[in-house]
Amino acid sequence: MEKHNTFRQEDNILIHTRILNAPRELVWEVWTNPEHIKEWWGPDGFTLTTKSMTVKAGDVWDFVMHGMGRDWDNKIEYAEVKKPSLLSYKHTGEKSDDYNFTVTILFEEVEGKTLLTMKSVFKSKAIIDELNRQVNAIEGGKQTLNRLVDYVKTLVNQ
Amino acid sequence: MTQTRDVFQAIADPTRRQIIGMLAQKSLNVNTIAKEFDITRQAVSLHVQFLSDCGLIEIKQQGRERYCEAKLERLNEVTDWVNQYRKYWDHKFNSLDTYLAKIQKKKK
């Protein structure tokens, strides 16, 4: 089953595949029911409160993440909903619209299990490159880290 | 088993980042590392263990001393956003799989 767990980038799209050991209807349920989604969504150590969730194209999942000493408002807008095989939503962040991206999840049945294909589509490849550069440039600690990585690269290239 | 500690957690902490920085230059034993910090030797030892669990350093016994050596190649995992995103979702899919197993067990 390992071969089903893949990741790749195709231009402006990031594609994850993953096999889950559960029937498709159940996997759909844990993505679309607030009681289930709070059990696994979000960074480790965070809790989640759903304000509202209507899984229909054009409707939203409005939720708050609690962690690192504060609340983080989140909104996900559903773009396409085909139970139980396709779910697509748009992430809207605090940054400009350029950084928003659309996620499409395909749920397929494979020998009683579920093959998940998650595609994250960005406005352009340039946006992904820019995000990469920004992460590389984040404050002091990361700077140290980058120096370390550069150092390692010089060692490798010798 | 699912690896619960990863490189991102390792570098989230300033003390651990500093330890990595020290070890990047040369291997050191835990006592030498501890002298550089105002926190207790035990606390430093826990950070060292954490880094070891993440695979960022390797602890080698040399006589009575335990030497720590940096495994910097693992840091390459965190160099860009795409890799962070990949790691984040790999980890979330593990959580999801674990949760699915739990609720299916309950049903039976």
**What average pLDDT does range A135-153 have in this prediction?**
50
* Residue with more model confidence, A28 or B82: A28
pLDDT at A145 (0 to 100): 53
Task: Answer whether 0.80 is exceeded by the pTM.
Answer: no
Q: Are A27 and B100 in contact (CB under 8 A)?
A: yes
> The complex's ipTM?
0.80
* Separation CA A11–CA A103 (nearest Å): 15
pLDDT at B8 (0 to 100): 67
Instruction: Extract the tokens encoding A94.
Output: 């605090």
Task: Calculate the dihedral angle through the C-alpha atoms of A54, A20, A17, A101, rounding to the nearest 10 degrees.
Answer: 20
Choose the weakest-confidence range: A59-73, B8-22, B73-87, B94-108. B73-87
Q: What is the pLDDT of residues A78-93, one digit of tens each?
A: 999 999 999 999 977 6
Does B82 sit within 8 Å of A152, measured CB to CB?
no
CA distance B41 to chain A (A): 23
Whether A138 and chain B come into contact, CB under 8 Å, resolves to: no
- Chain A's closest residue to B100, CA to CA, is A22
Residue A26, H or E segment: helix A24-32
pLDDT at A151 (0 to 100): 47
Whether A158 and chain B come into contact, CB under 8 Å, resolves to: no
- Chain B's closest residue to A140, CA to CA, is B14
What percentage of chain A carries pLDDT values higher than 90? Answer: 57
DSSP state of B79: S
* Class of the CATH-defined domain A2-123: alpha beta
Does B92 sit within 8 Å of A120, measured CB to CB?
no
Domain boundaries, chain A: 2-123, 125-158
CA distance A20 to chain B (A): 6
**What average pLDDT does range A134-141 have in this prediction?**
52
Give CA separation, B25 vs A11, A49, B18, B20, B78, in Å: 38, 45, 11, 9, 20
CA distance A75 to chain B (A): 18
Q: Are B47 and B59 in contact (CB under 8 A)?
A: no
Q: What is the pLDDT of residues B41-83, one digit of tens each?
A: 999 999 999 999 888 899 998 888 889 998 877 776 666 778 8
Average pLDDT across chain A, whole number:
83
- Chain A's closest residue to B14, CA to CA, is A141
pLDDT at A147 (0 to 100): 53
Q: Edge-to-edge, what's the strand order for the sheet holding B65-70?
A: B28-29, B65-70, B57-62
pLDDT at A136 (0 to 100): 59
Contacts of A48 in chain B (CB under 8 A): none
Specify the fold of B7-78: Arc Repressor Mutant, subunit A (1.10.10)
Q: What is the pLDDT of residues A53-62, one digit of tens each?
A: 999 999 999 9
Instruction: Extract the tokens encoding A136.
Output: 């590389």
What percentage of chain A's residues is helix, strand, coil (to nearest 5)?
A: 30, 40, 25
